[in-house]
Chains A and B, each alone.
Chain A
Amino acid sequence: MNNKSIWALFSLFALAALALTSCAQPTPETIIETVVVTEVVEIEGETIIETQIVETTKEVEVPVEKQVLIYNSYMSDPDPRAADAEVVTMFSEANPDIEVLHSTVAHEDFKQAIRAYLTASTPPDVLTWFAGNRARFFIDNDQLMDISDLWASEGWNESYPKGFQAMSTVDGNQYFLPTSWYWWAVYYRISIFEELGLEEPTTWEEFIAVNEALKEAGYTPIAIGTKYRWTAAAWFDYLNMRINGPEFHVDLMLCKESYDDPRVAQVFEVWRELLDSGYFIDDAAAYSWSEALEPFIRGDAAMYLMGDFIRDSLPDEIEEDLGFFRFPIIDPNVPIGEDAPTDGFFIAANSQNVEAAKRFMAYLGSVEYQTYFAETLNRLPTNFDVDKSIFTESQQEGLELIEGADFVAQFYDRDTTPEMADEGMNAFMAFWDDPDSIDGLLADLEAARLEICAPE
């Protein structure tokens, strides 16, 4: 399977390359030709040379090399997909000399295929990706193109806040273009909270009380689908930041703290209380995150810890019934950390159409694009020249949530190394299934950390 897949991929790329070379077709163009017509007329024995300038319009086949731009996107959820396609249309209309070959790949598959994309001889020119460690890994491996010139010429060094500049910059050069970000929070169904007379909890005690009340009333307090594991990582992120503070969390992500630290064990103790009390939905492992939305939409489950992209998958009438609150504070003495992942784009280092790619990137970083994205998908823009008055109420609220935080993290699998994220998320799953095994799991995680993060 392994070897076959690689070769199958290669052959696909070979085919794609073949298809591309045949794309530059001559297009019929209307041109205006100026023809000087010289007539020699003989009038009464005299020879007069008459010169006339005649303009003729004719259709000629002029071979115009349309630049081809390959754009691979992971925006496969319905709403982002539509918006993404619209963006490509808008760009193509404004740039008729560029033909955008746009393909959308389901995001779990995209994450798996990206290395094959990047190492192909004709990689996609522009790709969607995540800021943070996931981008850093490719930058360190020279797979991302240096776009410092674009940052300078587009004025992004002024219009983007420092934080976004920093996450795009390695050794003084910019490689990444963050375009949108969103916040994480506990989302809930307003109608259920109203029915039971519940308030948005701010402290852990209140949160537990809300869970208890929901359970009592026959609701599933918390929906979650852990088939793809990362949803559980959000719980780890928040519990760790609320119990041990963002500084410890970041150090743990950077492998500077150990997983057999008693502080980590404490996180799982609190987590376990939630599990043992039966606050989470049954059989979480059977669902993907969006499949677990079903009970939330039906009104059987009341809360869901999720990023704001939860909106993309909700029907409109549910969206009106959707509220969110900051993940409750466990220890008031600890600074507040929030997850606010940033998404964006980059140009592959081996891009064959750099000029077209840069023009597309310039568009993606522009106020026009970011305004469109902020309006249609409720994401928050990274370009601060975007008019803030277009923000909806929830966007304002989300912005406040993040502005009120002392520290902003990306997300578990974006903050730590890919290998460690994988080990960690496996351990979360094993813990979820059998909380008693936590001591062994943490010992294994620590062994993995020492191996993965060992100085080379």
Chain B
Amino acid sequence: MVRVRKNLIPYMFLIIPLIIYLVWVIGPMFYTFYLSLTDWDGLTTPTFIGLQNYQKLFEDKVFYISLFNNLKWLVSFITIPVVLGLALAMVLNRAIPGEKFFKMSFFMPMVLAMVVSGLIWGWMFHPAGGLINNFLVATGIMEKGPGWLSDRDLVLWSIILVATWRQVGYVMVLYLAGLKSINPQLLDAATVDGATGWQTFWRIILPLLMPVTVIVIVISVIDSLRAFDLVSVMTRGGPANASSVLANFMYIESFNNYKMGYGASIAVILFFLSLIFIFIYLWRVMKDELEY
């Protein structure tokens, strides 16, 4: 009897967060699944229309533009910030003068809210009076700066640049933590055995950082799938949907065009896309937990 009560106590503590989680996360999630099967303008009662939303979605050009943009974002995100972040971590993982200052500077963008970053860069990208174009024109590199956020071919890359600028510092911090956990004796042994710097990096440090790399990549993938803030603040997906990503597309359809059911179906697709990577992440984290 006593033992049963002992086992119950943790559950008693868990019950409040569990209820909150059920009401605010799981409940709405299933409600979204239901909504995605309906036609709803946000005012009247939703009418059940089966899979029509999905049918329409798979024929919608904007859906493919958004999905493809998400993929571009994803590929850039698992390469550029990861490589740059690792490089910075390697450089800053030794006692160089001002090392703390540099670490802080690179991590700083992460502290800023996405919306703030979006606004600041929006001004920097301003085609006529922005910092970047003024610089390009003043130094004579270009006669007239490009329309960073109004040119259909440039706009997505301009936004990804901002996202990358933000992400590098984050990845750097993760790798710095990873590097600290490497046993220095291994590195000493490598040096004694006559390994060059490159050999140590490729053969010893990088393989030992593998768990961190997996986490970094999965986080980058999830971050790229949920990209919304920067797009919403900087362009709202424009011009002519050129910078639309799934989350923004979902928001515009639901709250701008009041097609709640249609928006919900986009949400469901996005949910399952993210779920794959979240599972990989959780599986990895739990495996690590078991090891230690």
Interface set of A (CB-CB < 8 Å, partner B): 1-7, 111-113, 115-116, 118-119, 138, 141, 143, 226-229, 282-286, 294-295, 418-419, 422, 426, 429-430, 432-434
Contacts and interface: CB of A to CB of B under 8 A. Distances in A.
Contacts of B41: 115, 141
B267 A432 contact: no
Contacts of B236: 227-228
Contact of B42 (A119, A228, A294): A119
B264 A285 contact: no
B44 interface: yes
A2 B250 contact: yes
B28 A6 contact: yes
Contacts, number: 98
A229 B148 CA distance: 18
Given A3-B29, A7-B28, A433-B152, A115 B42 contact: yes
B239 A432 contact: yes
A-B pairs, 3 with minimum CB distance: A283-B147, A285-B239, A3-B28
Given A426-B240, A426-B241, A2 B264 contact: yes
A4 B27 CA distance: 10
Interface of B: 24, 28-29, 31-32, 41-44, 125-129, 144, 147-152, 228, 235-236, 238-242, 247, 250-251, 254-260, 263-264, 266-267
A7 B43 CA distance: 15
A293 B43 CA distance: 36
Given A295-B128, A426-B240, A1 B43 contact: no
Contact of A112 (B149, B241, B255): B255
10 contacts: A1-B228, A1-B247, A2-B264, A3-B31, A3-B264, A6-B28, A283-B150, A283-B151, A284-B150, A426-B240
Nearest to B247: A1
A3 B268 CA distance: 10
SS class, residues of chain B in contact with chain A: loop
A429 B24 contact: no
Contact of A141 (B31, B44, B127, B147): B44
A228 B237 CA distance: 11
B257 A429 contact: no
A333 to B, nearest CB: 35
B257 A419 contact: yes
Contact of B263 (A2, A138, A295, A429): A2
